[in-house]
A and B are shown apart, each in its own frame.
Chain A
Amino acid sequence: MTTVKTIIRDAPVEVCRPWLRYDLRHDAWTSLARAAATEGQVLLALWADTMKVHALFLDHADLTIVAVSTSAADGWYPALSPVLPAASLFERMIHDLWGHRAAGATDMRGWLDHGAWLLSHPMATRPGPPVQPDEPHHIDPDDAMILPLGPIWGPLDEAAHLRLALDGPWILQAEVRLGFTHKGTLALMQGKSPRIAARFAARLSGDATVAHSVAFARATEAAMEIQAPPRAVALRIAMMEIERVAGHLDTLGEVARLAEAPVARSQCGLLRETLLRASDTAFGHRLMMDCVVRGGVAADIATPGPHAILRALGDIASQLPGIRRLHDAPSLSSRLVGVGRAGGALAASLGVGGVAGRASGVAFDSRNGFMPEYSRFAPRVAVRHDGDAAARQHLRIFEIEESLRLIGAALGDLPDGPVTVALAPVSGEGIGCAESVRGTVWHWLRLDHGQIAAVFPADPGWGLWKLAERVLEHAVADDIDLIRASLALPASGMDL
């Protein structure tokens, strides 16, 4: 039988630390997609450079990663989307940025390119003339009412466009279009040193700035075969967990607001603000933007930092039971139970992790298995199976509690020593990851004498929006905002 393992066994390899990357002929690339689908392997990311298309797979069973590539030198490569639906949005993005066509793809409409740029395929060796704005709709059922939403959404939301086909209050079909906040980030990172490019990694997604910065730094460090010093590693853990607590509090509060639970909302908001002020004291920035650098962290924690953070954690710990009780009370729980239910098989097949995945039974958290620095703290990961907004709220509360413990442990036992190592301008390729507030972020990059030759950051949004389309299809239109907040659907991180 053809399995992923037998397909890659004889393929030529390139070193992509900490793994290998297998170079597949087009036929093997297609067989691998089929084998991966059969074996339940998950497509984590699909991206390109000027010559090749690359894919990252995860085998849940034995927690292994498989990185593969195939040629796009003739301007095309075999599509993965017919067997792996998770590939579809990536294929549209790859065509927009590099011009490589996914032959046989289920959908080749524009994604990032809305016809407003002065060129097309900006990442190609030779970009083309601008494309015509396309009609981005598949949905046009005859008897249904069409409800377009966005791209400018409710106040304080990210930009996204949703097109819904309604039957009375029910959503029959949902179709998402993103790319509005596309900032040309990959082109800005390319050709720069990782030190400079880190500013863009930190600005992919503000609420995951630490996670993206850590994943980018780890990819750089892998490519360079160096490791950040122990003190920096511990400080990074503290920052990542603080970001998780702040992000979860933000989502808890937003969902509570939309579910008309003002007390829970304002409690979460106040606790989050307390934590952001403590972060400012400790690390010099409320969101800890630019605080992680390749080779370590930008600066040591300020002297009053640990005390300020521990005090904020104390506030949160003392109020968390009350927030949990509010969620258990009928007024809030009846509003959340059954809303935005995501099936486990669907979430798994789309590579959805994070809270959305874990609330639907997908027991994946990159801190266990892919971030060895966490092993001495043994993070506990909870999984639920209801897959609805209520399950996600409860999971967030659990994860905050666990993060409080991890921050305390990391800061309580801070190793002495430097917070950065010196780096040489070497060549190499690496992958790094970090567990962000909404799932794992994966960064890949190739360095050429210390400069970025190619780079790709994969945000959890790619899988989440595919999941959201399916989740919305069983929902009532009045729940759209609640579902969106509950899944913590992002835009900027995947708009690149």
Chain B
Amino acid sequence: MSPTSPPEPVDPAALDSLRARLDEAAQTRLGRSLAIRHINTGSCNGCELELRALHTALYNLERFGLRFVDSPLHADVLLVTGPLTRNLKAALEQARGATPEPRWVVAMGDCAVDGGVFRGSYAVLGGAGVAVPVDLTIRGCPPAPAMILAGLRTLLEANSK
């Protein structure tokens, strides 16, 4: 078993655009920690499997100040997985409505980014961006834990500037 994985580099372009947005919001309440609420909008459960893997000690979420919470009320970030099904659109909008500002929406996995292979189905609207503004995307089907971590760290870096 390998030791704790080295953190992946963050994407500079994504970082810049996030910093710009954060300056606009002029918010500093997040500090160097993020509370994340996961929202499943139609996932095949593959993305959830990798989120669970991210919880193992190997990825050491706490080291980065990342924690998962049970309620959107206590969340800074909504982490959305799965293509946005018509049957879950209202649930996503409700979750966003319940999340206090400033809030961030991360679309994780090809499905949440743009509908993935399910794009064009009568039952799928596309990615999370169809219903709510998306701040960051993490591609992959599913993205490996190291990629998810790199994406979430991008948000942290933007915050701690």
> Which residues of A pack against B, CB within 8 Å?
114, 116-119, 122, 151-159, 179-185, 187-188, 199-200, 203-207, 209, 250, 253-254, 266, 269-270, 272-274, 276-277, 280, 286-287, 289, 315, 490-492
Contact = CB atoms under 8 A, between A and B. Distances in A.
B49 A492 contact: no
Contact of B123 (A182, A289, A492): A182
Given A116-B89, A266-B56, 4 more contacts: A151-B88, A182-B85, A182-B123, A206-B47
A151 B95 CA distance: 11
Interface string B41-55: 111111111111101
Contacts, number: 143
A206 B53 contact: no
Contact of A266 (B57, B68, B95, B123): B57
A388 B61 CA distance: 33
Nearest to B116: A203
A127 B120 CA distance: 17
Nearest to B83: A183
A289 B144 CA distance: 13
A188 B85 CA distance: 14
Contacts of B70: 154-155
A286 B56 CA distance: 15
B88 A158 contact: no
A151 B90 CA distance: 11
A289 B46 contact: yes
A290 to B, nearest CB: 9
B53 A203 contact: no
Contacts of B122: 117-119, 122, 184, 187
A220 to B, nearest CB: 18
A156 B79 CA distance: 10
Contact of A286 (B50, B82, B87, B117): B50
14 contacts: A122-B122, A152-B91, A155-B37, A156-B68, A157-B48, A158-B43, A159-B41, A181-B40, A203-B118, A206-B47, A273-B53, A273-B56, A274-B1, A492-B45
Contacts of B55: 269
A286 B121 contact: no
Interface string B73-101: 00000000011011111110001000000
B58 interface: yes
Nearest to A311: B1
A158 B48 contact: yes
B124 interface: yes
Contacts of B89: 116
B124 A183 contact: yes
Contacts of B120: 188
A206 B88 contact: no
A158 B118 contact: no
A287 B46 contact: yes
Nearest to A290: B141
Contacts of B117: 188, 199-200, 203
A155 B38 contact: yes
Nearest to B68: A155
A235 B88 CA distance: 38
- A155, A182, A287, A315 interface centre (most CB from chain B within 10 Å): A155
A273 B40 contact: no
A250 B83 CA distance: 23
A221 B50 CA distance: 31
Contacts of A207: 45-46, 49
B42 A209 contact: no
A250 B52 contact: yes
A117 B121 CA distance: 10
A97 to B, nearest CB: 10
B127 interface: no
Given A181-B85, A187-B122, A270-B58, A156 B51 contact: yes
B85 A206 contact: no
Contacts of A181: 40, 42-44, 82, 85, 87-88
Give the top 9 A-B pairs by smallest Cβ distance, nearest first. Answer: A206-B46, A184-B121, A184-B123, A116-B86, A269-B56, A206-B45, A181-B42, A203-B44, A206-B44
Contacts of A287: 46, 49, 142
B39 interface: yes
Contacts of A153: 40
- A152, A158, A199, A250 interface centre (most CB from chain B within 10 Å): A152
B42 A270 contact: no
Contacts of B118: 183-185, 188, 203
Interface string B8-51: 00000000000000000000000000000111111111111111
B112 to A, nearest CB: 13
B142 A206 contact: yes
- A157, A159, A274 interface centre (most CB from chain B within 10 Å): A159
Contacts of A205: 44-45
Contact of A204 (B40, B44, B68, B90): B44
A266 to B, nearest CB: 6
A73 B41 CA distance: 35
